[in-house]
A = this chain, B = another copy of it.
């Protein structure tokens, strides 16, 4: 288990006891999140875009259209901040002041580059597909040359990162514990609902096991 350095950018300033800098904690949170939020600066102004992704070793892989503003920005070697958060529950304290949420969040910084090598590009797209739904790559029709050319893939090496985590029950002021106010946690979890078959799917195509068994909760 290695650690990211604590810097002015990634140091958890508020409630530092909730901060983590080890790759194990950080990668686990990234690997569970389906969407990340990419911040970048254009014309001195901030932008945040939600996007699917995958982590491969110490890099974040993103993909999209060749015309994507975000991906052009990354291809040009400009820095990004990527954040991914899983909400785990509402923390209901006796006092409004101590209300909170349970969550696991990662914030990371890096500079990216475009992946141009065809084999490397295919591996990166496989990582994104498998991140979304493990088992899918070997089942679906993989990208042809035309699709590969139309797809921009970038890799962002994680230079600095930190995680912030809150778990557990509320923490009230001592004198408030006597108040007759319900307190506790209302857990929240992403769940899957039963799969919806495409209308044009032939009746004899069965639901694959990797979809039937897919579970958001089981990954945590």
Binding site for B on A (CB under 8 A): 9, 13-14, 34-35, 37-41, 44-50, 52, 64-65, 67-69, 79-83, 85, 87, 90, 92-97, 99, 101, 103, 105, 107, 109, 125, 129, 132-133, 136-137, 139-143, 147, 151, 169-170, 176-177, 179-202, 204-208, 211, 214, 216
> Which of B41, B90, B129 makes the CB contact (< 8 A) with A99?
B129
Closest chain B CB from A213 CB (angstroms) = 11
- Copy number in the complex reads 2
Say whether, besides A140-B96, A191-B191, A205 and B186 are in contact (CB < 8 Å): no
Closest chain B CB from A44 CB (angstroms) = 7
> Which of B48, B92, B99, B201 makes the CB contact (< 8 A) with A184?
B201
